[in-house]
Amino acid sequence: MKNKKFRYKNIFLYASLQFCGNIEEYFVNNTEKLVVFIVQPRIKNKDNLLRVYNKGTLVKEQNITLHENIFLNIFLWYTYHIKFLFTYFSRKDNVVVITSALPLLFGMTFQKLFMNVRYVFWTEYFPTINLTYRLFHKVKNFYHTNIDFGCYFGDEVNKLMNGKILDTKTKRTILWGVKPKLVKKRFPTGKMTMLFVGLIKESQGLELVFKYLKKHKNYDLNIIGVCDDKLYAKYKKIFVEYDIAEQVYFPNKFIFEDKLQEISKECFVGLAPYTTGKINGTYYIDPGKIKAYAEMGLPIIMSNTSAIAPYVKKFSCGEIIERNENDLDQAILKIIGNYKQYLEGLKKFNKYFYYEDYYAKKFDFLESPK
């Protein structure tokens, strides 16, 4: 890529080893100097990575250990953030930091005294349910007012932060992009396997699926993701009580890219039965797992929540359900009975969100730094 003309000059990007819209790959392909800090959930505090790219070539990769304690985690994270910012970029560089982590915005004005740095705050939303979250939102609103660029994981977040949905050079909604893969899906025969991918919390609705498996022994479930020890123990106990241990594969770890692709080939549908309503943050945003299922060629079954649900409906690439066993069963039967139709819907969905075209349009404000 030495002679390639790159869209962007200097980017400091926060990414994840979980599926997150091919954001790292996009900026690797389109940025001259790129620093990527991959920060895992706190329960995976030793698996963080620093990656440094020069004109699309990886020149350095380093493991970074943070901490499980939330306060020490934030302190170490911020310390590394400042260190990497001033180590890998010079005072002459026009640097853009892209992050959804609020603590990294602390001291922006001070940093700008020493470096030409601007911040893109790619904003999520967490409902205000206690004093801590209220304080969090007050701080977030302060920084959002003073941020260089505000981007949002859904129109609902955009509206909450601005009073209306904005689509300007400095404020706009950007959802996750998709990299379509040529996965030749086979119509399921024999025992059929469903897939769940992502960070696991009780709000993900897996207990609904466990109840369904208890009554439907011809289905299996692969759960690819991590949860804390307490929730893992709870789920293992449920497997025994429901007599579904042989139906569930749950290693409680992240499995990435190639291996996940192999696992997905054994599955016929991707599940996302989130709890619904405005008290769940997923209501407002675009969850990465839906795009992951689409990339893997899996029709989607999800509850009626999140910024991506209207697109699942629009392209007929899955079923939107109420959170009960009957709706789940009916969705599964519809997908099995019209499998090719849903695969065609996935092709249209993936074309619309193809990450190179989608991000090139959405991130055009980064192409000409001031």
pLDDT higher than threshold 90 for residue 242: yes
Which residues, including other chains, have CB under 8 Å from residue 153's CB and lie 6 or more apart?
100, 122, 123, 124, 125, 173, 174, 175, 176, 284, 285, 286, 307
What's the whole-number mean pLDDT along residues 98-123? 92
Question: What is the pLDDT at residue 370?
Answer: 44
Token output for 81: 């953030």
All CATH 3.40.50.2000 domain ranges of the chain, comma separated, are: 8-178+354-365, 192-352
Instruction: State how far Cα 115 lies from the chain centre.
Output: 30
pLDDT higher than threshold 90 for residue 337: yes
pLDDT higher than threshold 60 for residue 368: no
Superfamily covering domain 192-352:
Glycogen Phosphorylase B; (3.40.50.2000)
173 vs 288, which has greater pLDDT? 173
Question: What is the pLDDT at residue 158?
Answer: 93
How far is 268 from 256, CA to CA, in rounded Å? 19
What length does the chain have? 370
Superfamily covering domain 8-178+354-365:
Glycogen Phosphorylase B; (3.40.50.2000)
Token output for 50: 């620093």
Instruction: State how far Cα 310 lies from the chain centre.
Output: 18
CB neighbour class for 162 (10 Å; exposed up to 12, middle 13-18, buried from 19): middle
Ramachandran quadrant class, 280 (left: phi over 0; alpha: psi -120 to 50; beta: rest) = beta
Name the least confident of 127-131, 194-198, 288-292, 358-362.
Answer: 127-131
Q: Where are the alpha helices (DSSP H) in the chain?
A: 23-30, 70-88, 108-111, 131-146, 155-162, 206-215, 229-242, 257-265, 288-295, 309-315, 325-337, 339-352, 355-362
pLDDT, tens only, 147-185? 999 999 999 999 989 999 999 999 999 999 998 776 566
CB neighbour class for 188 (10 Å; exposed up to 12, middle 13-18, buried from 19): middle
Token output for 52: 């440094």
